[in-house]
């Protein structure tokens, strides 16, 4: 079964500390992985996708097929990073059908 697991409901860190939001997936085939973010009173929006291999707002995520993980990392957290983060996957023929994890709330304290 296709599944995305985000083991932490809440991750609380202080400003300047490193952040790692965990995401594990189960999927038979070659999935495409994404991180979506929802800031307070804003819409859900794409943060980054693994195929782009890009860094957005200082965040990076590496797809580890051996461990079936796609953890989101940032070396120095900022207060404005506080938000709800969702890991999601789809297959190449998924026609925009995303399977989301339960989400992790990141709280960055001053």
User: Contact letters (x/-) for other proteins, 49-88, by CB under 8 A?
Assistant: x------------------------------------x-x
Q: Of the candidates 86, 83, 85, 87, which has an alpha carbon nearest to the alpha carbon of residue 107?
A: 83
Q: Could you tell me which stretch among 20-28, 44-52, 56-64, 72-80 binds other proteins (CB under 8 A)? A: 44-52
Other CB atoms within a 10 A radius of the CB of residue 17 amount to 13
Q: Which of 74, 103, 106, 108 is the binder for other proteins (CB under 8 A)?
A: 103
For the chain, where are the E strands, in sequence order? 3-5, 10-14, 19-21, 24-26, 31-38, 45-49, 60-61, 72-74, 83-91, 99-100, 104-109
Stretch that binds other proteins, among 10-18, 39-47, 56-64, 75-83 (CB under 8 A): 39-47
Which span sits near other proteins by CB under 8 A: 11-19, 22-30, 45-53, 63-71?
A: 45-53
């Amino acid at each position: 079964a296709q599944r995305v697991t985000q083991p932490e409901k809440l991750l609380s860190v202080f400003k300047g500390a490193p952040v790692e939001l965990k995401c594990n997936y189960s999927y038979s085939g070659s999935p495409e992985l994404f991180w979506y973010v929802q800031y307070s009173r804003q819409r859900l929006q794409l943060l980054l996708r693994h195929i782009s291999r890009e860094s957005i707002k200082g965040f990076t995520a590496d797809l580890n097929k051996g461990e079936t993980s796609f953890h989101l990392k940032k070396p120095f957290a900022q207060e404005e990073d506080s938000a709800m983060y969702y890991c999601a996957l789809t297959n190449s023929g998924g026609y925009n059908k995303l399977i989301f994890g339960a989400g992790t709330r990141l709280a960055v304290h001053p």
